[in-house]
Amino acid sequence: MPFVKEKFFIEEETIAFLYVMRTLNYTQGQAQRHIAKGRFLIDGKSMSHTGTKVQGDIEMVFFRPKGTGLRPTFQNNNFMIFEKPSGVLVHPNTMSTPYSMLDEVREIAGDNANGTHRIDMETSGLFLASKHKKAEHHLKSSFENRSIKKSYLAWVDGKITEAFTSTEKIKVNKRGYEETKHKVFISDEGKASHTDFVPLQYDEALDASLIACYPHTGRLHQIRIHLFHVKHPILGDPIYGATFAASDDYLDMTQSEEDRLIQHGAPRLMLHAQSLQFTYGSQFHIESTLDFRNMKDLIVPKEERVFNK
């Protein structure tokens, strides 16, 4: 498990954050955040005052990566690019998360390495991680100012024959989930959003289209909600395009594999991060090597799936 709790004995009285810096090889800022998060314990209780002098038995909770051997498809001294599998979080969402991409990132490059952007758990494809804090700041800033260009591939329900653009505003759902499990929805009160879509292939037997998606903004679930809004939800999407009951079963982790296929059309979200284009000293254009086009074999035949448009 990535987050572990270990016991330590401090022989000579010392300031708490200094001890954390020396023991875990943290910077001062990292050590102070570590203590502020309640990960420094005395007699089983979290201590939050970073300047307190401590001595004797203490416990610390910290992230210890445990990778599976997944290697970057490209790396240099500043960053790494992985092919993230579907079903894997990019970062642990709780201290009990058993595995995430952060395990691979930090096992390779150490505690100062980090992911630089979000990818939904069920989305596969290119994941960019920094190897040090300077690179992390540069890459995260590049995502924020939209100088990093991204493209995705998606298998969607129905036939799409012409390119189109969605600029529908997106608002985060803060009203609760009594009527819908959607985390975002289209609203004039939302934030400006822009995605271009280009059809690539139509499979008549599956009644499914492969499309390229080019997001110009980075809203939560942007591609998913834009496609759902035009009645071509991404196949395998357990939230957008599914009934309330099916989404509820998925989120409660009570949904059977058979129901997942019938209710959502595929065993995973059929969305893939295909390319990244950015500048870090030099120009980089990285393409995924996964043959996502042929992953249409995962899609349930039209007559066997239930999808709520």
pLDDT of 309 over the 50 cut: no
Fold classified for 74-144? Alpha-Beta Plaits (3.30.70)
3-state secondary structure of 288: coil
**How do residues 101-129 score in pLDDT, each as one tens digit?**
999 999 999 988 999 999 999 999 999 99
Contact 34, 20 (CB under 8 A): yes
pLDDT of 212 over the 50 cut: yes
- pLDDT band of residue 1 (cuts 50, 70, 90) is low
pTM confidence score = 0.88
Q: Which residues contact 176 (CB under 8 A, 6 or more apart)?
A: none
Mean pLDDT across 223-250: 94
**How do residues 69-99 score in pLDDT, each as one tens digit?**
999 999 999 999 999 999 999 998 887 788 9
Q: Give me the DSSP letters along 163-224.
A: -EEE---EEE--S-SSS---SEEE-TTSB---EEEEEEEEETTTTEEEEEEEESS--TTHHH
Structural domain spans, the chain: 3-63, 74-144, 150-304
CATH class belonging to 3-63? alpha beta
- What is the CATH number assigned to the segment(s) 150-304? 3.30.2350.10
| Residues tagged active-site | 120
What is the rounded distance in angstroms from the CA atom of residue 35 to the CA atom of residue 198? 49
Question: Residue 197 corresponds to which tokens in the numbers above?
Answer: 């879509």
What is the rounded distance in angstroms from the CA atom of residue 282 to the CA atom of residue 297? 38
**How do residues 35-75 score in pLDDT, each as one tens digit?**
998 899 999 899 888 888 999 999 998 888 999 999 999 99
